[in-house]
Amino acid sequence: QNVATEFDTIAAISTPSGEGGISIIRISGENAIEVASQLYKGKNLDKVASHTINYGHIIDPDTEQEVDEVMVSVMRAPNTYTREDVVEINCHGGIVATNRILQLILGGSARLAKPGEFTERAFLNGRIDLSQAEAVMDLIRAKTDQSMKVALDQLDGNLSTLIANLRQDILDVLAQVEVNIDYPEYDDVETVTSRLLREKAVEVKGQVQMLLATAKQGKVLRDGLATAIVGHPNVGKSSILNHLLHEDKAIVTDVAGTTRDVIEEYVNVQGVPLKLVDTAGIHDTDDKVEKIGVERSKKAISTADLVVLVLDSSVPLREEDRQLLKLTEGSKRIVVLNKTDLPTKIDLNELHNVVKNDELINSSAIEPLGTKALEERIAKMFFAGNIENNSNNIMVTNARHIGLLKQASDALDSVLEGLDNDIPVDLVQIDMTRAWELLGEITGDSYQDELLDQLFSQFCLGK
């Protein structure tokens, strides 16, 4: 439907920075092939077939010196990522050569692409809709296979299709209402029209609510399950964290209270992305540094989706342990009884009085598989929500989408409220139309330029 708009030619390195086997520079726009040709020695790129990859060399046009040995893909519009002419230069000579080639390209009639600009063009040229563009971004950031799958489904357009259908439904009923108002063939036209509107508002709202219900898990997949590991100093928090990280990132020492920096790490626990926060633990102390940790611990407990409270089973319960047990009572928590390799000194009876059986896990963080039970429990708790059984595989993960769905739901509530209060149908129509517009903002059928800027600037360069 959309015809490619005229844009200038842009270029950027599309592979992650750093050393790698090859790097790819992507050029997109009207002059893409011309820009590449000026630096390329090999076949005539103007003449090669579209979607071919061509061996050759990049030559500095000023010095005629060879810069790198390359493979150049030529893809002509419109069957390209951006729907414009696209050239991708695969270079082999490492990041220095890659940068040099980019500089040569920018010396020609191309400019450096802004972050996400290739994807923005794909959107502006009508190849993908906004929710799909956002899925591209989610894919780039995906932390686990599960998040990848959700983003891929969204990229597939599952969400877009559902939204488009809902909008069409609303449009149909609005058209019907229009007809009824203009040609009142029945005596009870108001009643019939109200019923139509009500039925549709209830139906669409149900779908919107269904989507919103997926948002909680979707958010976790996207942002990670905020997990606080708390406990008295020296109970083994850092050791457990290291197990979860599968590498030694947190510092483990014998001195109580050494984990002073709040470390934030993502970790994939059997498909569940955890955003871990290691705190200094709640610990009564005059030490300033430690105190910051204490306050953060309390704060962490109140904001965490999941609290892992670690206790040392080789010593009796301390007053602080009791305090922590009390503080975490209302949280979704796992109480880890650590150091089970040592003789048990903790009062298990007292513990069982305040901790539910299924909250309690044994652990020995000095053994290679000593925290496996904890990992399994975390995964089980999360997947009990059964994200894989989500009927149509649509999951809303994006904050912008969630916000718009909520607003659409509110607009539909206003429709129902209006009907309940016998407000004239043409006023109720306004709220129905508003719901239609809000849903359209998800897929970018209606959008504002600031939104685009804000959205695409979050992409990394070269995407």
Q: Which residues bind ligand GDP (CB under 6 A)?
A: 231, 233-239, 252-254, 259, 338-339, 341-342, 364-366
- Consult the annotation and say whether 400 binds a ligand: no
Nearer to ligand GDP, 192 or 256 (CB): 256
CA distance 216 to 307: 17
Shortest gap between Cβ of 61 and Zn ion (angstroms)?
58
Residue 290, annotated ligand binder?
no
The site partner of 227 among Zn ion, ligand GDP, none (C-beta below 5 to 8 Å per kind) is none
161 is in an annotated binding site: no
Ligand-binding annotation for 224, yes or no, is no
Q: Is 200 in the site for Zn ion (CB under 5 A)?
A: no
Question: How far apart (Å, rounded) are the C-alpha atoms in residues 12 and 28?
Answer: 9
Tell me the one-letter amino acid at 45. Answer: L
Tell me the CA distances in angstroms from 272 to 77, 337, 412, one per residue in order.
Answer: 40, 22, 34
Q: At what angle do helices 189-223 and 399-420 cross, to 10 degrees?
A: 160
- In the complex, minimum distance from the CB of residue 282 to ligand GDP, in angstroms, rounded to a whole number: 11
Which 3 state secondary structure label does DSSP give 252?
coil
Q: Which residues contact 317 (CB under 8 A, 6 or more apart)?
A: 311, 346, 347, 350, 351
Strand order in the sheet with 333-338: 263-269, 272-278, 225-230, 306-312, 333-338, 360-362
**What does the block give as tokens for 72?**
């150049």
Chain-centroid distance, C-alpha 368: 32
Which of Zn ion, ligand GDP, none does 108 bind, CB closer than 5 to 8 A by kind? none
Bridge-based pairing of strands 111-112 and 10-13 is parallel
* Residue 427: alpha-carbon gap to chain centroid: 38
257 marked ligand binding residue? yes
Site string for Zn ion, 255-284 (x = CB under 5 A): ----x-------------------------
Please tell me whether 76 is known to bind a ligand: no
Is 127 marked as binding a ligand?
yes
Convert residues 201-240 into a mask of x (bound to Zn ion by CB under 5 A) and - (unbound).
Answer: ------------------------------------xx--
User: Which of the choices ligand GDP, Zn ion, none does residue 137 contact, using the CB cut-off of 5 to 8 A by kind?
Assistant: none
Beta-strand pair 111-112/360-362: unpaired
182, interface contact from ligand GDP, Zn ion, none, CB < 5-8 Å by kind: none
Q: Which amino acid is at 72?
A: V
24 binds, among ligand GDP, Zn ion, none (CB under 5 to 8 A by kind): none
Nearer to ligand GDP, 239 or 397 (CB): 239
Residues placed in the known binding site:
26, 88, 127, 234-239, 253-259, 278-281, 463
